[in-house]
Structure 1
């Protein structure tokens, strides 16, 4: 089993304080049994793609080029859809404050499928089929459009901007800035938004464009034994450190404990990838001499979990 845990750590005093008090006994036993595989992926918390996305790209056998991962095309891979280059449009509400513009998560809109499809269809004039566009409504929070002009355009992941000032991650490519502005203009005063605001709901006033590009011909499906545990995402992005701690405790008692059992038995090629805001690191079980296995069984080593996670 390859266990991958995104949002395993974060930058800042609140995260450091939370991790210092967090007791994860199974992870503390697991890490010393495993060996780091390669160098950590990623750079810093201001990169365009998260370390989690970079780790998935590596598993797919794709170049992990920051800001140029075709995550929109990957979202369609299971359905067999293909086109020159896809872009993911995530409907959201941009909250304009005195000093910054903050991106609220798509879930904050509480869109129904019917509302989402209605908004998507009403914007179709921006991507006409006669001009070479293809569009697909993939889900309430996932709108996809394809056009050759999206190939190679650098864009920031949606997760980078949620609950944050969007300024440093705004699209650099003129093509994407223009499209975002056109969407915002059509949404302003939109009858569907007027009905939402009258009902006390947030207006859908923008989209975040990300994941541009075509699926690499050498791209591989994700490994069958990959198990992604994403329960840390929501509380971390919301800054709910108590809920994040509780989610970590459940992970430690469940999937991490199961991987620890595999590692102790030396079966199943156990691998662990932990992804923070800056880096993602993978560990795997390497060969262990019999004497070392006996010693580790009698005196199980324990890792400094907080230190390991804060390095991510």
Structure 2
């Protein structure tokens, strides 16, 4: 079903108690209409402690990258699509590198939202130039892409598992660092960069402007592309729920869900009603639930348990 229209919905629910409350009484008539027309697929449920959240696992499968935990090669795919892959050597993997601020307390180290850093291109390039020689000592080359995100290439990044940025935002980073045995160079680089940046002029300049210092980085999206990469139709990934969910702004999250229901979900339901092949995947922090068009003769034989559930019951599986 390569021509299937696939709507992928990250942050459809979270593990926060506020998410439970926000779901109560949330009316999503188009979503209910849609899933009654479709056939449920096997759910994907993993531990919340895994490095790759459900929406990244679902996207990795849809793009032909697979769903190996912490090794879904989103950065390698991006490098190939932008022509940057030619800068790598045979056997290299890729990863995204996000400059960030770690808020250090006695009992936890929290990664603040990088989008709040107000990092400009000139400052970002200066940081990259400062940090690049340290990465090079461990066989990794840094490549500038945009102020808030660089890329790195090197043999280590073909194998090491790294946690999604979505897993660690506003949380204690210590639970999400790469396994020590497999990623000793990255763990050492974290310590070295903290010491390097602590008293650097770039840090002083930011603090003089009232901005949080950039004192760390986060590596994510690591891996190497499968060869050959299967041709695939990318899903439509919904971004509107992510920000409110991470901020735990549940009023805005509910409004975003209602707009999603009235817009893209309604459009998908209309396609399904016309017999066009469609799929929808709802993702939380633990699990993903998918429904897809099936031949009518098959669909008539399948009693859709999911289609008869209330949305609040579905939320419990995400």
Please give the TM-score of this superposition, normalised by the length of structure 2.
0.88
Task: Indicate the residue corresponding to 1:310 in structure 2.
Answer: 316
Once the two structures are TM-superposed, the CA of residue 42 in structure 1 deviates from its matched residue by 4.0
Q: Is the 8 A contact 1:56 1:222 kept in 2?
A: no
Matched, 1:188 2:198: yes
Task: Indicate the residue corresponding to 1:113 in structure 2.
Answer: 121
Change (3 A) 1:66 1:199: same
Pairwise mapping of residues 6-25 of structure 1 onto structure 2 (< 5 A)?
6-25=10-29
Change (3 A) 1:168 1:132: closer
Once the two structures are TM-superposed, the CA of residue 122 in structure 1 deviates from its matched residue by 1.7
Matched, 1:104 2:107: no
- CA RMSD across the alignment: 2.1
Residue of structure 2 aligned with 1:167, choices 165, 170, 174: 174
In 2: Cα distance, 1:203 partner to 1:277 partner: 29
Structure 2: stretches of 5+ with no match in the other structure: 301-306
Matched, 1:199 2:205: no
Structure 1: stretches of 5+ with no match in the other structure: 293-300
Task: Indicate the residue corresponding to 2:303 in structure 1.
Answer: none
In 2: Cα distance, 1:132 partner to 1:93 partner: 24
Residue of structure 2 aligned with 1:55, choices 58, 61, 67: 58
In 1: Cα distance, 2:153 partner to 2:45 partner: 28
Change (3 A) 1:222 1:81: farther
Matched, 1:270 2:278: yes
Q: Is the 8 A contact 2:65 2:73 kept in 1?
A: no
In 1: Cα distance, 2:121 partner to 2:15 partner: 35
Task: Indicate the residue corresponding to 1:45 in structure 2.
Answer: 48
Matched, 1:66 2:69: yes
Equivalences, count: 300
Change (3 A) 1:181 1:71: farther
Q: Is the 8 A contact 2:13 2:315 kept in 1?
A: yes
Change (3 A) 1:48 1:192: same
Task: Indicate the residue corresponding to 1:90 in structure 2.
Answer: 98
Q: Is the 8 A contact 2:135 2:189 kept in 1?
A: no
In 1: Cα distance, 2:74 partner to 2:83 partner: 14
Q: What secondary structure is seen at the aligned counterpart in 2 of 1:202?
A: coil
Once the two structures are TM-superposed, the CA of residue 62 in structure 1 deviates from its matched residue by 3.0
| Post-superposition CA distance 1:203-232 (Å, at most 9, x none) | 0010011222221213335415x2111110
Q: Is the 8 A contact 1:103 1:165 kept in 2?
A: yes
Once the two structures are TM-superposed, the CA of residue 16 in structure 1 deviates from its matched residue by 1.1
Q: What secondary structure is seen at the aligned counterpart in 2 of 1:236?
A: helix
Q: What secondary structure is seen at the aligned counterpart in 1 of 2:102?
A: strand
Once the two structures are TM-superposed, the CA of residue 303 in structure 1 deviates from its matched residue by 4.8
Change (3 A) 1:276 1:80: same
